[in-house]
């Protein structure tokens, strides 16, 4: 059975934030029914699974949207126009953790929440880590705490609900599958 088409008939700019825009999109759906959807436009993001062969390097960082610190992979938005996602990932890992990956492998490209945003994330495995000076950007990154966990402990934190960030769960699961665990 063919999926119903939802032709776009118009859009209206609603607002702009520091790096996001909000637009209202008007579609004609099945049975000639009109619908309007609000869409958050996002430049895209990257996340890394920094793996040193023994531990995964995570960050515990305050996230205003959920009002608490979240244990998660180092990540950041693609805020340099035209920059390759791998270059963004390498920069973010060095800035946030003080670790420069010698090797990056793309694990996944995924929409994080396609019900309301076009944000695409590139998740990389980061290996052959070299210590470099960290250069955290913004107050939350400056106050963040690096956390190194053996993979089994990180997976237990997912199972126990301590890690509830989708990109982190996807990245850790990908590493575990890659290692046959």
Q: What is the 3-state secondary structure (H, E, C) of the chain?
A: CCCCCCCEEEEEEEEECCCCEEEEEEEECHHHCEEEEEEEECCCEEEEEEECCCEEEEEEEEECCCCEEEEECCEEECCCCCCCHHHHHHHHHHHHHCEEEEEEEEEEEEECCCCCECCEEEEEEEEEEEECCCCCCHHHHHHCEEEEEEHHHHHHHHHCCCCCCHHHHHHHHHHHHHCCC
Residue 140 annotated among the catalytic residues of the structure = yes
Out of 3, 31, 119, 140, the active site residue is 140
Q: Which residues are catalytic?
A: 140
């Amino acid at each position: 059975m063919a999926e119903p088409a939802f032709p776009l008939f118009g859009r209206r700019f609603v607002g702009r934030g520091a790096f996001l825009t909000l637009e209202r999109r008007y579609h004609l759906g099945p049975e000639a029914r009109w619908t309007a959807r609000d869409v958050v436009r996002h430049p895209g993001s990257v996340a890394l699974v920094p793996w040193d062969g023994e531990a995964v390097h995570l960050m515990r960082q305050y996230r205003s949207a959920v009002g608490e610190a979240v244990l998660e992979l180092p990540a950041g938005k693609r805020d340099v126009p035209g920059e390759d996602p791998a270059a963004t990932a390498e920069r973010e890992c060095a800035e946030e953790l003080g670790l420069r990956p010698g090797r990056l492998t793309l694990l996944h490209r995924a929409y994080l929440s396609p019900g309301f945003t076009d944000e695409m994330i590139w998740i990389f495995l980061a290996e052959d880590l070299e210590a470099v000076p960290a250069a955290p950007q913004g107050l939350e990154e400056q106050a963040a705490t690096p956390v190194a966990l053996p993979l089994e402990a990180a997976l237990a934190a997912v199972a126990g609900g301590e890690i509830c960030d989708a990109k982190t769960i996807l990245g850790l699961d990908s590493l575990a599958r890659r290692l046959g665990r």
